[in-house]
Structure 1
Amino acid sequence: MVINVQVRARPRNRLVTGVLLLFGVPLVAVAALRTVGYDGGWYTLVLLALTPYAVVYGALLGGVSLVLRRWWTGGIALALAILLAVFVAPRVMADEQPAVAGKSLRVMSANLYLGHADAATIVKLVRDNRVDVLNLVEMTSAEVSALDKAGLFGLLPYRVLHAAPGADGSGIVSRYPLTEENYTGDSTAKQPSAEADLGGGTVVELVAVHPESPDTGVDQWERETKDLSRAAGEHGLRILAGDFNATLDHAALATVLSRGYHDAADERGDGLQPTWPADATPLVTLDHVLVDKRAAVEDYRVFDVPGTDHRAVYAEVRLP
């Protein structure tokens, strides 16, 4: 009788072990991709975007496995969760900033969601936060008219605008005089660039970032993102702000950061604040303000804007 019970238990034990191993496959995939710095295709990009959640997932899977006495499975799952936590945890800790005493620049970026964002809210955010530079992506001609009617250009009179239907339009609006430049390669959506003259010999280079969405072409997204990665020492003080269609766990964005930039949210310990999809439950951080490492990030915030699926991002930067 005892022998029969043991024989029946083995298939059930194997089934439990198999199920746990199956649940461990995405965890192993995320840990491997993140460690080697490989974005892969569309599905692996989605997995990488969920890296912060994979930390919790791995801890839960490891705990359940240990309770069920699957020691190897539980130990490996916990080890992978710890590995991913090493990448993610620094985002909730503020970093020491460079000791600089130059001018302060307040930068905000908003994805207008095909021109459907509420213009009055955008203008109110600019006014309330004394924004100096506003980057706008997915900007249509109708949205430009709505922003004008809401009073945006009375607050920020200088502009470089490339309105277009759908998601391809972008622009930079500023309190300071702008000179349009070309700091990026060709891209599907216009990513305008400009030099802002802050006076007193201080100039800042600005880019409104919006590379192709990877769901329509991963190779194009990767190329357009890496086109932003010219080394900071090869040009003037530069700030990149917009919808990168990437998180800090994507290798393409890591390439940009490695060339002399800091992520403003990460610097202030707010690197886990999600920005998309704002019209549902925000899950991932696709919108960023990347700041030249020679400058200091003094503040960072995210704002909800009715009518768009992205949160606006804001950073106050102290220049050298």
Structure 2
Amino acid sequence: MRRRLGEAVLWLTVAALAGWAGLRLCGWEPKFVWSQLVSFTPYAAAFSVVPLGFALYLRAGPLIAAALAVTCAFAVAVLPRVLPEGNPPAAGPVLRVMAVNLLHSSVLPPVLVETVERERPDVLHLLEFTGLMQKRVEELGLTRSLPYRIVLPGEDSSGAAIYSRYPLRAADRPIAAPAFEGSPRHLPAVVTLPGGREAEIVAVHACAPSEGWRTACWASSVRALPPAGGPLRILAGDFNSTLDHAVLRDLIATGYRDAADVTGKGLSMTWPYYEQPRLFPKVAIDHVLADRRIAVQSFRTLRVPRTDHRATLTELVLP
């Protein structure tokens, strides 16, 4: 009796995990709850070995086969993120791109400036950037190392800025602002590197897939980002999407590569860290997408106090 009950519980667990894996692989995303839940697919993948282990212990043949199939399905979705990829041939200028969500500009300005001076990015994307934060960081000398800037300050989550070591100009094709007032906005620009090579850069801040109108804002804000092709382009910032969201994978499929994925660090979680229990599960929603012609030399995340996001720092080599 006890064995039958145990097998029944295992079958229900495997069935639930099979449904999760099936939804993830087919790309269909029911609104609201699933758009959030699918972000935790790596944890579901890790958990899938538990019923497999119990099935092996019970020597239940059909259950072993089903659990193994589910684990393999999750492996197809998740395992490539920890396997480094090669790079295209690239011998052009090197560009270090740093992006950080400032949590409504809660990061202390001296800390931000010190971090930038220590890490020495060539391009800095700042999200949730207010006018007061702009005033303070520029007073503290941010523009000494990054003298060029395009700034779109705003309240709470709507502001963004790009600071650069190299000349900047507005992008030829602006990205349409969200139809929802107070939503985050993407900020595109063109950077001119030594030797005259240009690349388009976008400070990305998508809406969150949360309740009410934000669910609609989320998918449309990711789809508003420009596809790859044509000029070299780099998208960096808070996508509010993981590699388990079909809308982000569709964007990457146009000709981008995810820097964390390319370097085998696709499970580097970036949110939420501030004022959360240590064991609260984290997800990877901050990304750097580079045109597939660009080589990704390195990717890492950085702790910046007083924000719930990890900053990203990526070194790229242009063709």
TM-score by length of 1: 0.91
For the residue of structure 1 that corresponds to 2:186, the secondary structure is: coil
Cα shift at 1:13: 4.8
Matching residue within 185, 190, 195 for 1:190? 185
Alignment partner, residue 4 of structure 1: none
Check the 8 A contact 1:229/1:257 in 2, yes or no: no
Asked if residue 107 in structure 1 is aligned to residue 106 in structure 2, the reply is no
Q: Which moved more, 1:95-104 or 1:143-152?
A: 143-152
Check the 8 A contact 1:225/1:252 in 2, yes or no: yes
Alignment partner, residue 272 of structure 1: 267
- Percent identity among equivalent residues? 40
For the residue of structure 1 that corresponds to 2:268, the secondary structure is: coil
Matching residue within 128, 132, 137 for 2:122? 132
| Count of aligned pairs between the two proteins | 308
For the residue of structure 2 that corresponds to 1:239, the secondary structure is: strand
Q: Larger C-alpha radius of gyration, 1 or 2? A: 1
Aligned 1:50-65 pairs, distance under 5 A? 50-65=40-55
Q: Distance in 1 between matches of 2:283 and 2:29?
A: 16
Check the 8 A contact 2:48/2:67 in 1, yes or no: yes
Q: 1:222/1:163 Cα in 2 relative to 1: closer, same or farther (>3 Å)? A: same
- Structure 2 unaligned blocks of 5 or more: none
Deviation digits for residues 29-51 of structure 1, max 9, x if unmatched?
32111111122222212332111
Check the 8 A contact 2:14/2:70 in 1, yes or no: no
Alignment partner, residue 287 of structure 2: 288
Cα shift at 1:149: 3.1
Q: Distance in 1 between matches of 2:258 and 2:75?
A: 18
Q: 1:236/1:22 Cα in 2 relative to 1: closer, same or farther (>3 Å)? A: same
Alignment partner, residue 317 of structure 1: 316
Amino acid at match of 1:239: I
Alignment partner, residue 3 of structure 1: none
Q: Distance in 2 between matches of 1:152 and 1:303?
A: 18
CA RMSD of aligned residues (A): 1.7
Check the 8 A contact 1:278/1:304 in 2, yes or no: no
Check the 8 A contact 1:119/1:146 in 2, yes or no: yes
Deviation digits for residues 120-163 of structure 1, max 9, x if unmatched?
23222322222010111111222222322332122211111111
Cα shift at 1:195: 0.7
Asked if residue 96 in structure 1 is aligned to residue 86 in structure 2, the reply is yes
Alignment partner, residue 240 of structure 1: 235
Q: Which moved more, 1:278-287 or 1:152-161?
A: 278-287
Aligned 1:24-103 pairs, distance under 5 A? 24-103=14-93
Amino acid at match of 1:299: S
Matching residue within 219, 222, 232 for 1:222? 219
Q: Runs of at least 4 residues of structure 1 off by over 4 A?
A: none
Amino acid at match of 1:227: A
Check the 8 A contact 1:117/1:306 in 2, yes or no: yes
Q: Distance in 1 between matches of 2:299 and 2:125?
A: 15
For the residue of structure 1 that corresponds to 2:33, the secondary structure is: helix
Cα shift at 1:70: 4.1
Amino acid at match of 1:173: Y
For the residue of structure 2 that corresponds to 1:139, the secondary structure is: coil
